[in-house]
Amino acid sequence: MLRGNIVTATRLLKAFIIASVFMLGGWAVPVQACNDGANAQELALRGLYGCWRDLYLAVWQVYQLTDDSWNPAGISDACNLSLPFAKVVNGVYAVHYILTDNYIPQWHSIEDYTSSSSAGANRFHGPFYQRFIQYNGPSEADSETGRVAARDRTNLHCPLFNLRGPSDDPVNRASVMIHESWHHWQEKYGFATSHLNGPTGACTNSGASCDWYYFHGTGDFDFGTLHTYDTNPSHLRFHSPYQIAVEFDADVAELSQPWVPVSVTQSARFYGNTRLSNTFKNRVGYRIGNPRPF
C-alpha cells in the first residue's frame, strides 16, 4: 500500500466529500468533466486490481488531489474509470505496482519513481498539490514552482484524460506525473524549471516542450539515488523531465511484471519511443527495444 495513514485518509476524504456536497447542494458527480470514458488499456490495467478503496484513499492523500478542482472530476465517484480522478488512481497504480525492480537492467527503482511522483516533501522536492483543470488546449499538464506564500502545484489538464485522445493512456498519465514531479526536483535543487522552446535541433515539438537528453547507463544511478546528480562534464549524471518520463516508459515496456497486459506494455513502448524521437534537442540513438547501455 502507498505510504500514508489510510485511516486518516479515510476520515479526511469523507469530510472533504461531505463538505463538497453541502456547498454544492448535491453530490459532486459531473455529467461530463472532459471527453469522458475508459479505453482498452485503462480497463486492462484496472482489471488487475478492481475498485480498491484503500488505493484511491491513499492516492488522494499521498498525491494531494485535495484541491476543490477535483469536485467535477469524480472525487465522489472514485471508482468511475470514465472520470479523471479514477484515471489518476489508475496511473498511480502503474507507478507503484507493475514494475519488477530488476536491478541494473531497470533504469530506476520503484521507490525512486514513487517518491518523485508523490506530492509530499522528500529528498526529491518540497511539498506540492495537484489540480484538475478543464482545459481544451494541447497541453497535458504543467507545474507551477517557486510560488510566493503559496504551495507549489501541478495542473493536470483534460488532454491527459480525453477518451481516444493522443494522451489518454494510464502509463502515459503515470509518466506525465513523474515528468511534472521533476520540475519540482529542479526547483528544489536550484535548476531552471522551464523547457527549451522548439522546434530546436532534433526536437520537432513547438513551444516550450523540448529537453536535453543526458546519456547514462542503467548502472549509473543505483536504486535509491535517482535524486542525485553531478554536473561535472567529465562524469555528468543528470536528468531532464522528458528523460525521466522516457526511462519510466522503457521500464514499463520491458521490465513489467509478467501478469501486466501486453496492451499496456506496448503502449508504454509507443509513448517512450515517440518522446525519444521528437522531444530532445540532441539526437538520441537509443530506442526502447534496443539493448540498454549498462
Selection from 214, 216, 208, 201 nearest residue 278 by Cα: 201
CA distance 69 to 154: 12
> Can you tell me which residue has the cell 547501455?
293
pLDDT at position 137 is 81
Selection from 282, 280, 260 nearest residue 174 by Cα: 260
- HEC secondary structure over the chain: CCCCCHHHHHHHHHHHHHHHHHHHCCCCCCCCCCCCCCCHHHHHHHCCCCCCHHHHHHHHHHCCCCCHHHHHHCCCCCCCCCCHHHHHHHHHHHHHHCECCCCCCCCCCHHHHHHHHCCCCCCCCCCEEEEEECCCCCCCEEEECCCCCCCEEEEEEHHHCCCCCCCCCHHHHHHHHHHHHHHHHHHHCCCCCCCEEEEECCEEEEEEEEECCCCCCCCCCCCCCCCCCECCHHHCECCCHHHHHHHHHHHHHHHECCCCCHHHHHHHHHHHHHHHHHCECCCCCCCECECCCC
pLDDT at position 26 is 43
Question: Is 135 contained in some domain?
Answer: yes
Question: Is 156 contained in some domain?
Answer: yes
Question: Is 288 contained in some domain?
Answer: no
pLDDT at position 168 is 95
64: left (phi over 0), alpha (psi -120 to 50) or beta: left
Neighbours of 3 (CB within 10 A): 14
**pTM (2 d.p.):** 0.90
On whether the CB atoms of residues 281 and 201 are closer than 8 A, the answer is: yes
Question: Is 38 contained in some domain?
Answer: yes
pLDDT at position 93 is 98
Task: Output the tens digit of pLDDT for each of the chain's 294 residues.
Answer: 564 444 444 445 544 443 443 333 344 444 478 999 999 999 999 999 999 999 999 999 999 999 999 999 999 999 999 999 999 999 999 999 999 999 989 999 999 999 999 999 999 999 999 999 998 688 999 999 999 999 999 999 999 999 999 999 999 999 999 999 999 999 999 999 999 999 999 999 999 999 999 999 999 999 999 999 999 999 999 999 999 999 999 999 999 999 999 999 999 999 999 999 999 999 999 999 999 887
pLDDT at position 18 is 39
pLDDT at position 31 is 45
pLDDT at position 33 is 85
Question: Is 291 contained in some domain?
Answer: no
Q: How many domains does the chain have?
A: 1
Could you tell me the residue range of the domain that residue 124 belongs to?
Answer: 6-278
In this structure, which amino acid lies at residue 151? R
Question: Is 290 contained in some domain?
Answer: no
Question: Is 74 contained in some domain?
Answer: yes
Question: Is 39 contained in some domain?
Answer: yes
